[in-house]
Amino acid sequence: MKRISILFVCMGNICRSPLAEGILRHLVAEAGLTGQFTVDSAGTGGWHEGEPPDRRSIATAQRHGIDISAQRARRIRPGDFRGFDLVLAMDRDNVAALAEIAPPEANIRLFGDAALRTGEDIPDPYYGGPDGFELVYTRLLTGCSSLLETLGVERASCSGNTSSVR
């Protein structure tokens, strides 16, 4: 299998994209394919650069056996468009922001199109409560699992508690 590089992007890189990065890294590790993937996340804005993910994202991930506490927010860089096979934005606003700065050959897709095949935006849970983070986790888990299956990684080979929302 060819090494695949995926970059998840949201606005500040503290809620949705760090969760997506953590989920996909976890699923890839469970499948024994860590060496076959490069997974990262970034934000279209740099307000939180260097900060850990939002405490609610960390707590949500932790409830599902995933540790994202060591991640640090960063702003997308021009080299990311060349360095990643696939750039998955969490919503249409981020797709538009990326399209303004990306070279024409960049592979930018909406997560809801590429991973969920529903065309939906992943809602930003920042201004809500814990239920919003659980909803985002569920959508990201479903999409990341589907994405791996599309790339030829069988979900059935994965174990652990990420397949359910508690």
Question: What are the boundaries of each domain within the chain?
Answer: 4-157
The residues annotated with a catalytic role in the active site are: 10, 16, 124
Please write the tens of the pLDDT for every residue from 75-124: 999 999 999 999 999 999 999 999 999 999 999 999 999 999 999 999 99
pTM of the entire structure?
Answer: 0.92
What is the CATH architecture of 4-157? 3-Layer(aba) Sandwich (3.40)
> Are 134 and 128 a contacting pair, CB within 8 Å?
no
Q: What is the DSSP string of 33-77?
A: -GGGEEEEEEESS-TTTTPPPPHHHHHHHHHTT---TT----B--
Contacts of residue 52, defined as CB under 8 A and 6 or more positions apart, other chains included, come to 14, 58, 69, 70, 71, 72, 73
Evaluate if residue 149 carries a pLDDT over 50.
yes
Predicted pLDDT at 1? 63
- With bands split at pLDDT 50, 70 and 90, how would you rate the model's confidence at 152? confident
d(CA 48, CA 13): 7
